[in-house]
């Protein structure tokens, strides 16, 4: 039974089914905290939109975006429905693990040269990752991911590189990616979200002054983590002088 198929005069006859039907469509209740804190708002046409602001202090250099609505798929559907969106299940990532700041900048230049959908940066703000730095190439199919893996591995032969499926959080919370499936219930939920939300792809392009801010942040992050390759970007000079000590021994 669909919401639009129920006539007003028949509501009493279908009290329970109708309640279940409107409950499926009532995504406002589920997302109420996001409306209250200002993350989400309603447009004049009733569509749900979210506040979009450029990120002034990102850990990532964004080379090119995938063109997908990751806010809806990840921040909304995964976070509040605990399901993996069908578009996310089509996403394959070539993941690079630079071990030093030198390797991070090496990866950055490779990504800029290739100009594929990708990003790289410091992993310091991610509590579910033990990596210092990371880099990601985004692909739409497994065979595309396998081809990209071989290409990247050929350009960065000494850097750890893997091919994985979708976001790390999905597998950590919902299990092995080989077992993911899309149920009829999920298909209906995704249709409701598409109908309710503004189709929104964020532009992550970064101006030169933001890139300068980002690279300076990377250098300071390397210093904080004891990665002495940061000295290659300071003319061999320490960011801060050693302290004078007064103890013996």
Note the pLDDT of residue 136: 97
| Percent helix, strand and coil across the chain, each to the nearest 5 | 50, 15, 40
For 42-51, the pLDDT digits (tens) are 999 999 999 8
Neighbours of 70 (CB within 10 A): 21
Mean pLDDT of 169-197: 96
Lowest mean pLDDT among 7-21, 27-41, 104-118: 7-21
pLDDT of res. 13: 58
**Could you tell me the pTM of the whole model?**
0.88
Cβ atoms of residues 111 and 62 within 8 Å? no
The span from the CA of 108 to the CA of 111, in Å, is 5
- Report which of residues 20 and 83 the model is more confident about: 83
* Per-residue pLDDT tens over the stretch 52-80: 877 788 899 999 888 889 999 999 999 99
Q: What is the pLDDT of residues 152-170, one digit of tens each?
A: 999 999 999 999 999 999 9
- At residue 3 the predicted structure's pLDDT band, cuts being 50, 70 and 90, is low
Tokens of 146: 């396998």
Sequence-separated (6 or more) residues with CB below 8 Å from residue 3: 21, 22, 25
- Sorted by sequence, the CB contacts under 8 Å of residue 230 that are 6+ apart come out as 101, 219, 222, 223, 239
Q: What is residue 116's predicted lDDT score, i.e. its pLDDT?
A: 97
Q: Given a cut of 80, is residue 8 above it in pLDDT?
A: no
């Amino acid at each position: 039974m669909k919401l639009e198929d129920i006539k007003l005069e028949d509501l009493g006859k279908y009290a329970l089914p109708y309640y279940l039907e409107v409950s499926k469509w009532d995504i406002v209740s589920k997302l109420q905290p996001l409306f209250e804190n200002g993350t989400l708002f309603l447009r004049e046409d009733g569509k749900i939109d979210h506040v979009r602001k450029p990120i002034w202090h990102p850990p990532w250099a964004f080379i090119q975006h995938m063109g997908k609505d990751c806010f809806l798929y990840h921040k909304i559907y995964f976070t509040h429905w605990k399901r993996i969106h069908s578009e996310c299940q089509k996403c394959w990532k070539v993941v690079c693990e630079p071990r030093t700041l030198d390797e991070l900048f090496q990866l950055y230049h490779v990504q800029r040269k290739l100009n594929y959908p990708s990003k790289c940066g410091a992993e310091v703000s991610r509590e579910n990752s033990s990596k210092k730095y990371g880099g990601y190439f985004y692909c739409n199919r497994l065979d595309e991911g396998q081809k990209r893996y071989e290409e990247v591995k050929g350009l960065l032969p000494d850097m750890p590189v893997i091919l994985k499926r979708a976001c790390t959080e999905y597998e950590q919370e919902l299990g092995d990616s080989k077992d993911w499936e899309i149920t009829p219930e999920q298909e209906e939920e995704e249709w409701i979200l598409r109908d309710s939300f503004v189709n929104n792809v964020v532009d992550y392009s970064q101006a030169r002054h933001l890139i300068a801010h980002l690279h300076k942040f990377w250098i300071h992050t390397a210093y904080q983590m004891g990665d002495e390759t940061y000295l290659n970007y300071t003319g061999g000079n320490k960011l801060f002088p050693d302290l004078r000590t007064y103890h013996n021994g």
